[in-house]
Chains A and B, each alone.
Chain A
Amino acid sequence: CLYLRTEWALSSGQGGSSVHTNAGRGPSPASSPPFSFSVSRARRVNPCSGRRSGSCCPSVRMSWPALYAQLVGANRHSTSLGKIWLSVLFVFRVMVLMVAAETVWGDEQSDFVCNTLQPGCENVCYDQFFPVSHIRLWCLQLVFVAAPTLLVSMYVAYRNHGDKKKLLENSSRTGFLSSRSPEEELEALKRRRLPITGPLWWTYFISVVAKLLIEVGFMYALHVVYDGFRMPRLVQCDQWPCPNLVDCFISRPTEKTIFTVFMATASSICMVLNGAELAYLVTKAITRSLCRKKDGTLTSREKTWRGTNERSPGSLRCCN
């Protein structure tokens, strides 16, 4: 088999990781959760069934439910547009990729047929026209696009950690001040939804900008590598060792074009949602700073109370 089957698991349940390459073995020490990465040699998967050649089936398989579990946790601190974006991402992109697109591209190399018996010609021509498969590009795109959200959840975890330490210090120094026990306070701290202000606003803003840039980058890369979103039926190839200009036929080009257009549309919808979210964040920040100027007479205690207890600062509520 020419390819490795890679399993990525983004869950802390997975144990250590080791990396085996095609050339040789090179185990690496276990990585810390929540990321672990293991590579196994190729094995048969469903897209191979019924294939004439009976060769190994290369594919990259993601543990998408594990990624979903990670992102849903970060979802609590998102805006409504962010939550819609996550739903669109999982329903229209990840689901469609896993359920439909992977089977369409499953036989892309084995059914890439050139009008020649020359050994090596098909391999070389396939490699020339498909430097990176669509499926791999989309998997990478989805992983990179989901990554900035983890930045936000890391910041929230860091903030919760700091607040937890302060809470424990206060309760040990001064005893019970509130009616709730420390355990209840800690639980409330874990469950609370932080308002998107201050450093969290900047982290969130940067994560949305990063998502938008990554989406644009990948769409551009797909367009450049495949010269548009259309898959031709026939390509002509004259790489060595092909004897002369040979015709090579791509398998299922129409179905591939349909799915490429579908995924490009879903990607555009996500970009529009990200743009709208940026506009919303900026507008909210501007109105909040205008309100703050008007409420300049608040005492510092009222300001602190408002900063930690506001659920979702309304745009003009503080100005009433």
Chain B
Amino acid sequence: MPLTPPAEPDPEPKMNWASFYAVISGVNRHSTGIGRIWLSVLFIFRILVLVVAAESVWGDEKSGFTCNTQQPGCNSVCYDHFFPISHIRLWALQLILVSTPALLVAMHVAHRRHVDKRIYKLSGRTNPKDLEQIKSQKMKITGALWWTYVISLLFRVIFEVTFMYLFYMIYPGYKMIRLVKCDSYPCPNTVDCFVSRPTEKTVFTVFMLAVSGVCILLNIAEVVFLVGKVCSKHLHDAGDTSMGAWIQQKLRLL
């Protein structure tokens, strides 16, 4: 059995995010243009930054957390009191949960393809080329798929906002402080505890927050775009009715 030297510090998390990317990017084909931009922003500015930079900043968060006492256990207890859950884990959970609604859309597309295949077969067309074409054609975002897509977008926004709120609750002001004072048992009295790399952590927290805000805006823009598309389609179809013509006339005057 060959003993291979470690190639790089930890390739496993990158590999796992890479396989996650492979799963999620399959949905990309059925997204709108804004949806594809959102996916790129997610992977470049959030997952990549998390894996390449943020994880090494938070790598020594516990070992570098030092309290001004020799009392065994005081360090652990104070760390646990001020950091119930680390930023890195919260961001990883946020990214996983925010990407999950896209899988809903993928399942709906797969279901629709399955139904289309059955219809083809029942109508007698069993040419393998036709069936392959069904697999590769891009689905139009209409009907029930439109509703699934919009619901998935709304869920994304809800998850993002929830996590931003959680961050705010656990780490007020999104700022990482240099010094915390702790008096939990077994610390003998109020001891000073020092956080490692507070400024760097604040910079990354603000960056990830800003990108999260951009993603929320992109999702809202996508919802508005989809709703606008449907409304304009309806107006166009209703153009020959008197109401539709009246609305179109008013819109032209604006």
Contacts and interface: CB of A to CB of B under 8 A. Distances in A.
Interface string B45-67: 00000000001100110111000
A49 B73 contact: no
Interface in A246-268: 247-255, 258-259, 262
Contacts of B79: 251-252
A18 B84 contact: no
Contacts of B10: 45-47
A51 interface: yes
B85 A249 contact: no
Contacts of B118: 311
Contact of A255 (B86, B92, B100): B86
A61 B12 contact: yes
A68 B19 contact: yes
Contact of A113 (B17, B64, B72, B80): B72
A87 B99 CA distance: 12
A65 B20 CA distance: 10
Interface stretch (B1-9, B204-212, B229-237, B244-252): B1-9
Given A40-B1, A40-B3, A91-B103, A253 B72 contact: no
Secondary structure dominating the interface of B? helix
Nearest to A52: B63
B76 interface: yes
> Counting chain A CB atoms within 10 Å of each CB, which of B17, B85, B103, B111 scores highest?
B85
Contact of A50 (B20, B63, B89): B63
A130 to B, nearest CB: 15
A128 to B, nearest CB: 17
Contact of A99 (B6, B17, B64, B71): B17
Interface in B99-121: 100, 103, 107, 111, 118, 121
B1 A247 contact: no
A311 B121 contact: yes
A90 B100 CA distance: 11
> Counting chain B CB atoms within 10 Å of each CB, which of A41, A103, A250, A254 scores highest?
A103
A114 interface: yes
A255 B6 contact: no
B186 interface: yes
A20 B80 contact: no
A250 B76 contact: yes
Given A50-B64, A252-B80, A98 B13 contact: yes
A43 to B, nearest CB: 6
Contacts of A46: 9-10, 12-13, 55, 59
A282 B140 CA distance: 36
Interface in A36-85: 38, 40-41, 43-47, 49-52, 61, 64-65, 68, 80, 83-84
B179 interface: no
Interface residues of B, number: 45
A286 B201 CA distance: 60
Contacts of A96: 92-93, 96
Interface in A87-119: 87, 90-92, 95-96, 98-100, 103-104, 107, 111, 113-116
Contact of B76 (A16, A27, A99, A249): A249
B77 interface: yes
Contacts of A250: 76
Interface in B8-30: 9-10, 12-13, 15-17, 19-20, 23
Nearest to B121: A311
A116 B71 CA distance: 10
Contacts of A107: 62-63
Contacts of A248: 73
A51 B63 contact: yes
> Counting chain B CB atoms within 10 Å of each CB, which of A43, A87, A99, A253 scores highest?
A99
Contact of A49 (B3, B60, B88, B186): B60
Given A87-B103, A91-B96, A258 B64 contact: no
Contacts of B56: 49
B200 to A, nearest CB: 14
6 contacts: A87-B103, A87-B107, A91-B20, A95-B96, A100-B93, A113-B73
Interface of B: 1, 3, 6, 9-10, 12-13, 15-17, 19-20, 23, 55-56, 59-60, 62-64, 71-73, 75-77, 79-80, 83-86, 88-89, 92-93, 96, 100, 103, 107, 111, 118, 121, 185-186
Closest 4 A/B residue pairs (Cβ): A50-B60, A46-B10, A249-B73, A254-B84
Given A234-B77, A247-B73, A253-B80, 4 more contacts: A91-B23, A96-B96, A98-B16, A113-B73
